[in-house]
Amino acid sequence: MNTNQTFQEMKHLFKVARERFPHSKLFVTKILISEQLEVRNSKEAEHIKRLNENTSEIQGVTVLDTGIAKEMVFHRDGIHWSTRSANLILCDWLQQMNNEKQVFPKEGKVSKRI
């Protein structure tokens, strides 16, 4: 797994999104890593950590740091998110999107709907 290649592909994805939707705001959620992944596959866990760090450096992209890490539930393998965890992440993300004070600065016309 090549972190640099993955990061370059993400940068390209955000560049295309900015070109196609020039008045939009771009958000990405940090990828949560289980302790088991760090123990069993530290190389992959390190790749995800670096990807999270590098993503925060992309100009014009806001990285949302989910506050549900303590509530995460993983499948029996201890690595993959459970459906419950995926739903928690989605709900947390939606809550952050609806927090207009944090997400939408008072500049120009901004739609209140996403």
pLDDT tens, position by position, 43-91: 888 988 998 888 888 888 888 877 776 777 888 888 888 888 888 888 8
The DSSP symbol for 81 reads B
Rounded to two decimals, what is the model's pTM? 0.67
Are 79 and 45 in contact by the 8 Å Cβ rule? The answer is no
Q: Among 3-17, 32-46, 64-78, which stretch is predicted with the lowest mean pLDDT?
A: 64-78
* Mean pLDDT value across residues 23-42: 84
Local structure of 36: helix, strand or coil: helix
Residue 110 lies in a domain: no
pLDDT attached to residue 52: 87
- Full domain range(s) for residue 28: 3-103
Rounded Cα gap, residues 100 and 107, in angstroms? 12
Domain assignment present for residue 114? The answer is no
- CA 24 from centroid of its chain's CA atoms: 17
Specify if 93 maps to a domain.
yes
97: helix, coil or strand?
helix
Q: Examine residue 109 and state whether it is found in any structural domain, yes or no.
A: no
